Chain A
Amino acid sequence: MKKYSWLVLIFIATLILPHVIGEFWIHVAIEILIFGLFAVSFNMLFGYMGQLSFGHAAYFGVGAYATGLLMLKTSVPLPVCLVFSMVAAGATALIFGYFCVRLTGIYFAILTMAFGQLIYYIIFQWYSFTGGDNGLQGIVPPEWLYNVKNYYYFTIFIVTAALIVMWFISESPFGYTMRAIRDNTERTRFIGINVRKYMLINFVVAGMFAGLAGGLLGPFTRSIAPDLCNWQQSGVPVFMTVIGGPLGFFGPMIGSVIYTFLFAFVTGFTEYWPLTIGLVIIFVVLYMPGGILGLVNEKMDSIKFKEQTGDLNNGLEKEA
């Protein structure tokens, strides 16, 4: 249980947070959670399955629009809208994923990107239904979530639930099959696993959780736009995952904390955010390929190594 003790501590800290920070930073915290969820869903494809999707924002956007449209045009309660978002995003992922999982590597990346752009332009052009590039404005959360602190707790609740589900999936035999597909697709196929089917299931699940994150975004920002689906937006979870570390479950969430916080902080005094994050990414790619988690793991390993070899050295010294 020692492993989870710090997780519990962090969870408690997040619960007390709104009472110690200003309203602006509560908004930032909600963003961290929503985008963290988005990034964790992305990592199901990247870290666990070994494929780079550069169009994951399509499902994020579909989820956002599903909830946004339902909230603006109907009186469906928000939690139900979120379910619809997951279904809509999942359905989209099913259609696109069917084709994407037949490819790997760069072809997979470009096809996911092409599909992402397709959704972007469909939403953009379908003015009568989606409002086109005006986006959807004035999406208002229900009364009980109007106060940003309440929305914060609501978001924590949903995101935590989603993370727990994804954690169980990643630690289940299904999750280990994903890792097997990532490490050696050929061999996995040889032991009789229908690789495509498994990849598709994973793709759909990842899409559903991205849709959930998108659904949470609309009522929070009160405004959504087709840009939520484009390739630049798809790059955001990639950045977060790489910064935090793709090989650990919480890597993308850590990445979200750093990325979102950095964004809120840096844009306060300069307009050159792209330059900043560009330099950060280059640094991370060149010198920290495992992200923060990778760094932490290395330090942990070297500590363990020192502990183990320390005894050995003592033994040798004594002999000598």
Chain B
Amino acid sequence: MKIKVTIIACMLIALAGWVQPSSSMAAEPYHLGVDLAITGTGALYCKDGVDAIKLAVGEINAKGGFLGKHPVKLFIRDSHTKPDIAVREAKDLILRDKVRAILGTYSSACAVAIKPVAQEYKVLHIPAISNSEGITLTHFSPYTYQVVPNSYMQAKAVVLGVAELAKKKGWTNYITIASDYEWGRSTQQNTVELLKQFAPNLKLKKEFWPRLGETQYTSYITAIMAQKPDFVIGSVASKDNVAWMKQAKAYGFFDKIPYPGSLISVSELILQAKTLTRGLVGLCRAPFFAHMDVPMMANFVKNFKAKYNRYPSDWAVMEYDAVYALKQGIDKAGSINSEKVKDALKGATIDTTRGKLFFRDIDNQLSCSSYIGVVSDDPKYPFPIYHDLVEVKGPDSWRPEAEILEARSKE
């Protein structure tokens, strides 16, 4: 009786092995994986990203798919904003769903985690929201292409602006508050280093590191106000940013302390339209309103608004660009084979909603810009946008190649 049970068990397990979707050879669909934070701290930004991906895929499939003959099949997984789950889902996507490329992630820690897995299984990896420099600086993977201005680029854009402001206003000290995870750390570190370079007289008074997913910032707010710094730089993102800014406002924080150059993405502009303090100098990664003169962007905004009844945030823009970057790589390679696409994308110039940009050879970083401006109301939109917009171009803000080589030699 026990022998029978064992045999049946073995057969069931063997059966499970065969129950896998078979792909027909003709008109082979292109399996595209998405590993984003559907839940967890990153969910706020990721929903927009997923919607944009679906829009892009719909447009491509309306024309028959990649190269007109490979319909795109989406596989969407939730990374929960946790790197180990992101890795697990990535492995699932690669082994079970047989995806050829993975789009995502939100958390930079997740991007850094998935990178070696994608490299091991030779799958393309485009993190279109995560932007920590750690993704492209060290442990370089030729399969990873970055379409977001990375944390160094963003930090440099901010620093150039803040250094000017500090000189004008005679500031001498500052405090940082940054979410304690890969992106927060990377951004804060880059900012502090660059400030030392461009405004050496500024002193970093204290650093605060609320954990990722913190919902109560009260103690941080009062602690910072107790120190009376000349200005504060914040590197807090997504839901945390919403909570932080909402609670700080309730303490009159922004009226008392200058808060220049912190990340206020289009998501925050839209979500906190009623309460956001006007006149704040903020930073963002891909505001649609900065490129309405580019036909691809105008079309995208029109279609996104028609389909989802809202304006696209930075994350939607970049995920959309990611899908089209992949498409252009496939077009250039003339094939969906990941090796050929990877080689085709190397150093390639592509059309994006933000204009014609290219991938830098040394780190596969797209030459995209960072945007700094003043939060102001605008008659065209039901939420505040950035006026006095300064676009700091990619090549002006990315880390010099010599420094990258130096960092890599230390690995």
Interface assignment of B2: CB less than 8 Å from any CB of chain A: yes
CB-nearest residue of chain B to A133:
B181
Q: Which residues of B contact A135 (CB under 8 A)?
A: 83-84, 109, 113
A22, B116: Cβ atoms closer than 8 Å: no
The one of B2, B18, B87, B95 in contact with A222, judged by C-beta atoms closer than 8 angstroms, is B87
Interface assignment of A134: CB less than 8 Å from any CB of chain B: yes
Interface assignment of B203: CB less than 8 Å from any CB of chain A: no
Q: Which residues of A contact B38 (CB under 8 A)?
A: 271
Bits for A128-145, please: 1 = Cβ < 8 Å to B, else 0: 000011110110100000
Interface residues of B, count at CB 8 A: 37
Report A1-54 residues with CB < 8 Å from chain B CB. Answer: 5-6, 9-10, 13, 16-17, 20-25, 27
B83, A137: Cβ atoms closer than 8 Å: yes
B84, A223: Cβ atoms closer than 8 Å: yes
Q: Which residues of A contact B2 (CB under 8 A)?
A: 5-6, 9
A221, B87: Cβ atoms closer than 8 Å: yes
The interface stretch among B7-15, B66-74, B289-297, B343-351 is B7-15
B17, A20: Cβ atoms closer than 8 Å: yes
A22, B84: Cβ atoms closer than 8 Å: no
Q: Which residues of B contact A267 (CB under 8 A)?
A: 92
A224, B14: Cβ atoms closer than 8 Å: no
A225, B83: Cβ atoms closer than 8 Å: yes
Interface assignment of A268: CB less than 8 Å from any CB of chain B: yes
Cα–Cα, bound, A223→B88 (Å): 9
Cα–Cα, bound, A124→B38 (Å): 23
A6, B14: Cβ atoms closer than 8 Å: no
A24, B96: Cβ atoms closer than 8 Å: yes
Q: Which residues of A contact B339 (CB under 8 A)?
A: none
B211 to chain A, nearest CB (A): 8
Q: Which residues of A contact B112 (CB under 8 A)?
A: 134, 137
Bits for B178-221, please: 1 = Cβ < 8 Å to A, else 0: 00111001000000000000000000000000011000000000
A9, B83: Cβ atoms closer than 8 Å: no
Interface of A is mostly: helix
A25, B16: Cβ atoms closer than 8 Å: yes
Interface assignment of B402: CB less than 8 Å from any CB of chain A: no
A268, B96: Cβ atoms closer than 8 Å: yes
Cα–Cα, bound, A30→B384 (Å): 53
Bits for A304-319, please: 1 = Cβ < 8 Å to B, else 0: 0000000000000000
Q: Which residues of B contact A225 (CB under 8 A)?
A: 82-84
The one of A25, A27, A132, A137 in contact with B180, judged by C-beta atoms closer than 8 angstroms, is A132
Sample of 12 further A-B pairs with CB below 8 A, known A223-B83, A268-B96 = A13-B10, A20-B13, A20-B14, A21-B16, A22-B17, A22-B20, A27-B95, A134-B112, A138-B139, A223-B117, A224-B84, A225-B84
Interface residue ranges, B against A (CB under 8 Å): 2-3, 5-6, 9-10, 13-14, 16-18, 20, 38, 78, 82-84, 87-88, 91-92, 95-96, 109, 112-113, 115-117, 120, 139, 180-182, 185, 211-212
In the complex, the 3 A-B pairs of residues with the closest C-beta atoms, listed nearest first: A21-B17, A225-B84, A138-B116
Interface residue ranges, A against B (CB under 8 Å): 5-6, 9-10, 13, 16-17, 20-25, 27, 124, 127, 132-135, 137-138, 140, 221-225, 227-228, 267-268, 271
A–B Cβ pairs within 8 angstroms, 22 of them:
A6-B2, A6-B6, A13-B10, A21-B13, A21-B16, A23-B95, A24-B92, A24-B96, A25-B13, A25-B16, A133-B181, A133-B211, A133-B212, A134-B181, A134-B182, A135-B113, A137-B116, A138-B139, A222-B116, A225-B82, A225-B84, A227-B82
